Structure 1
Amino acid sequence: MPHTWDPDRYLTFADERGRPFVELLARVGAAAPVDVVDLGCGPGNLTARLAQRWPGARVRGVDSSPEMVATARATVSGPVFEVGDLRDWVAGRGSVDVLVSNATLQWVPGHLDLLPSLVQCVRPGGWLAFQVPGNFDEPSHTIRRDLAAEAPYDAHTAGVAVPSSHDPATYLEVLAGAGCAVDAWETTYLHVLSGDDPVFTWVSGTGARPTLEALPDDLRPAFEQEFKRRLRAAYPPGPLGVVLPFRRVFVVGQVAA
């Protein structure tokens, strides 16, 4: 079921969403790459960091969302941005020196099977680095899933895109089998959020967006109201604000020279 992305909503927590990208990039040891690609570049604010890290490289950003690419083109100078499906890019492109994918592969069903193809897109001695959320058993996701399965919403939400990922050990095994030296780890961030219903604001820009867009206009307000109520109960405000634990999985592989 198709859905669209809202760059402005996504960028509401730009600093929190960007921190994993910075920590992923810190483990990439490329010195002077020529071709660098960001698969799933979103609004391009993080792709700009690739151009800053390697100013002599040709940096490209690819995203399946025309809205995200339009924002990237309008706000980020240097990298070249294009609309494209990650799976089509793998099938039709040549080799690169650094291939980065941040918080994207979780939206690709069966992405474990895609990883060897991504490795083949990287030149010998080059780097593949990706990060995916690993929090899909947390209330921010389970509440949406359970509510979407209730009537009358279930008639509209069946078959919507749902993100998923694997543990670091699984990714390590797959990339090592594809000939990479692998560094895989996980981190749980404790994001301290403020504002009205901040967890809803967070998830409505990412994991919950396909579900919300699938609902007709006459049902969406009631769904959102109940969703917010359950999220407030699961993430009550404290002295510092609302704390959102967020586990992320990181994988960096260097292709054998």
Structure 2
Amino acid sequence: MTHTWDPDRYLTYADERGRPFVDLVVRIGAEAPATVVDLGCGPGNLTSLLADRWPGAAVSGLDSSPEMIAAARQADDRVDFSVGDLREWAPGTPVDVLVSNATLQWLPDHLDLLPRLVARVRPGGWFAVQVPGNFDEPSHTIRRDLAAEPPYAAHTAGVAVPDSRDPVVYLEALTALGCEVDAWETTYLHVLTGEDPVFTWVSGTGARPTLQALPDDLRPGFEAEFKRRLREAYPPREHGVVLPFRRIFVVARVSTSSTTER
């Protein structure tokens, strides 16, 4: 089963989800780029920040989800949004700034894609990536363990799950391509409120393919047990539920003498 995305669900914690994007983009040193591309732009709310920062640039956003692109087109008419697979994305000419925020973790072969993506950036241009790095946290391990139990395992085997590498892996891969690389990690402590807020968070992203893979008669039981285990792992406190969230950041300047095949 191919999963779909829900822009409204995804935007429930828009401010918290947007902080890593801002922290990533602020480290891009481009002053007056002509072309800026956001691969995996989602509902477009963050792509709008690229148009704000570089108002003279032609800004475009690409996402594989028609639902996300439909929402994005309503969000900002300054940006050219389109549906597409970033693995097949090939601009007519190399771009000045290429951003991919919280997207590559969904592609198991994304390390192998880095040479191709860097080749889409002009010499002296910028390539910036952010991916989650929290896949050993309870928000993921609980889902993984529960999905492997009967009767769920028969339906969840092979569903899409996100994954990423440590910062040094990306640094070494991009340095080998001739880039100047700035790589780092940050753990945010998001304070969430509302009923079962961690479930609300993960059901809009990492857990969504698993939940959609379950038949209607099994999904309610799975969700109830998932919520129970999440409440134990993330107990409510006086100020809310604290969700630690590690993020991996990489900003690469493409070599002006790059010989990467284009």
Q: TM-score, normalised by structure 2?
A: 0.97
SS in 2 for 1:38: strand
One-letter amino acid of the counterpart of residue 57, structure 1: A
Deviation at 1:129, TM superposition (A): 0.1
Deviation at 1:230, TM superposition (A): 0.2
Deviations along 1:30-59, one digit per CA (max 9) or x if unpaired, are 010001000000000000000000000000
Gap runs ≥5 in structure 2: 257-262
Question: CA–CA distance in 1 between the matches of 2:41 and 2:125?
Answer: 19
Question: CA–CA distance in 2 between the matches of 1:9 and 1:52?
Answer: 25
Question: CA–CA distance in 2 between the matches of 1:174 and 1:121?
Answer: 16
Deviations along 1:106-142, one digit per CA (max 9) or x if unpaired, are 0011100101111100001000001000000000000
Deviation at 1:77, TM superposition (A): 2.0
Question: Which residue in the other structure is 1:132 paired with?
Answer: 131
What does 1:170-249 correspond to in 2, within 5 Å?
Answer: 170-249=169-248
Question: CA–CA distance in 2 between the matches of 1:94 and 1:110?
Answer: 24
Deviation at 1:94, TM superposition (A): 3.2
Question: CA–CA distance in 2 between the matches of 1:209 and 1:43?
Answer: 16
8 Å contact kept, 1:4–1:65:
yes
Deviation at 1:2, TM superposition (A): 1.0
What does 1:1-257 correspond to in 2, within 5 Å?
Answer: 1-90=1-90, 93-257=92-256
Question: CA–CA distance in 2 between the matches of 1:48 and 1:174?
Answer: 29
Question: CA–CA distance in 2 between the matches of 1:70 and 1:110?
Answer: 27
8 Å contact kept, 1:32–1:57:
yes
Deviation at 1:243, TM superposition (A): 0.1
Question: CA–CA distance in 2 between the matches of 1:21 and 1:86?
Answer: 18
Deviation at 1:222, TM superposition (A): 0.3
Question: CA–CA distance in 2 between the matches of 1:87 and 1:24?
Answer: 22
Gap runs ≥5 in structure 1: none
Question: CA–CA distance in 2 between the matches of 1:74 and 1:60?
Answer: 14
Deviation at 1:5, TM superposition (A): 0.2
Deviations along 1:203-241, one digit per CA (max 9) or x if unpaired, are 000000000000000000000000000000000001110
Deviation at 1:93, TM superposition (A): 4.9
One-letter amino acid of the counterpart of residue 41, structure 1: C
Q: TM-score, normalised by structure 1?
A: 0.98
Deviations along 1:66-88, one digit per CA (max 9) or x if unpaired, are 00000000122200000001101
RMSD: 0.8
Question: CA–CA distance in 1 between the matches of 2:45 and 2:206?
Answer: 20
Question: CA–CA distance in 2 between the matches of 1:225 and 1:206?
Answer: 18
Question: CA–CA distance in 2 between the matches of 1:77 and 1:9?
Answer: 22
8 Å contact kept, 1:141–1:207:
yes
Question: CA–CA distance in 2 between the matches of 1:94 and 1:66?
Answer: 25
SS in 2 for 1:36: strand
One-letter amino acid of the counterpart of residue 63, structure 2: D
SS in 1 for 2:60: strand
